[in-house]
Amino acid sequence: MGLTNSTRRKLSLLIITAILCTFLAFIFLLYTERITTISRFKLNCPKRNSADDRALESDSMDNPGDDILDFDPDECSVNHGKWMFNSSIKPLYTDRTCPYIDKQYSCIKNGRNDSYYLHWEWKPDDCMLPRFDPEVALRKLRGKRLMFVGDSLQRNQWISFICLVESVIPKDKKSMKRGHVHSVFKAKEYDATIEFYWAPFLVESNTDIPIKSDPKQRIIKVDSISQRAKNWLGADILVFNTYVWWMSGLKTKALWGEFENGEEGYEELETAVSYRVALRTWANWIDSTIDPSKTKVFFTTMSPSHQKNKEWGNVNGIRCFNETRPVTKKGHWGTGSNKEMMNVVASVMRRMKVPVAVLNVTQLSEYRIDAHTSIYGELQGKLLTDEQRADPLHFADCIHWCLPGVPDTWNQLLFAYL
3-state secondary structure 304-315: CCCCCHHHHCCC
Active-site residue, 400 included: yes
All residues at 6 or more sequence positions from 85 whose CB lies less than 8 Å from its CB, including other chains: 119, 120
All residues at 6 or more sequence positions from 128 whose CB lies less than 8 Å from its CB, including other chains: 45, 46, 61, 66, 69, 71
Buried-state track 74-105, b at ≥16 Cβ within 10 A, e below 16: eebebbebbbbebeeeebbbbbeebebbbebb
Cβ distance 148 to 195 under 8 Å? yes
- Residue 80, sorted as left (phi over 0), alpha (psi -120 to 50) or beta, turns out to be beta
All residues at 6 or more sequence positions from 172 whose CB lies less than 8 Å from its CB, including other chains: none
CA distance 63 to 3: 59
All residues at 6 or more sequence positions from 8 whose CB lies less than 8 Å from its CB, including other chains: none
Cβ distance 218 to 249 under 8 Å? no
In the set 60, 72, 152, 287, the catalytic residue is 152
In the set 106, 205, 400, 408, the catalytic residue is 400
Which of 190, 140, 125, 184 has its CA nearest to residue 159? Answer: 184
Cβ distance 333 to 80 under 8 Å? no
Q: How many CB atoms lie within 10 A of CB 142?
A: 11
Element (H, E) at 270: strand 267-270
Active-site residue, 119 included: no
CA distance 346 to 254: 22
Q: Identify residue 151 by its one-letter amino acid code.
A: D
CA distance 105 to 402: 5
Active-site residue, 205 included: no
Q: Which residues have a catalytic role annotated?
A: 152, 397, 400
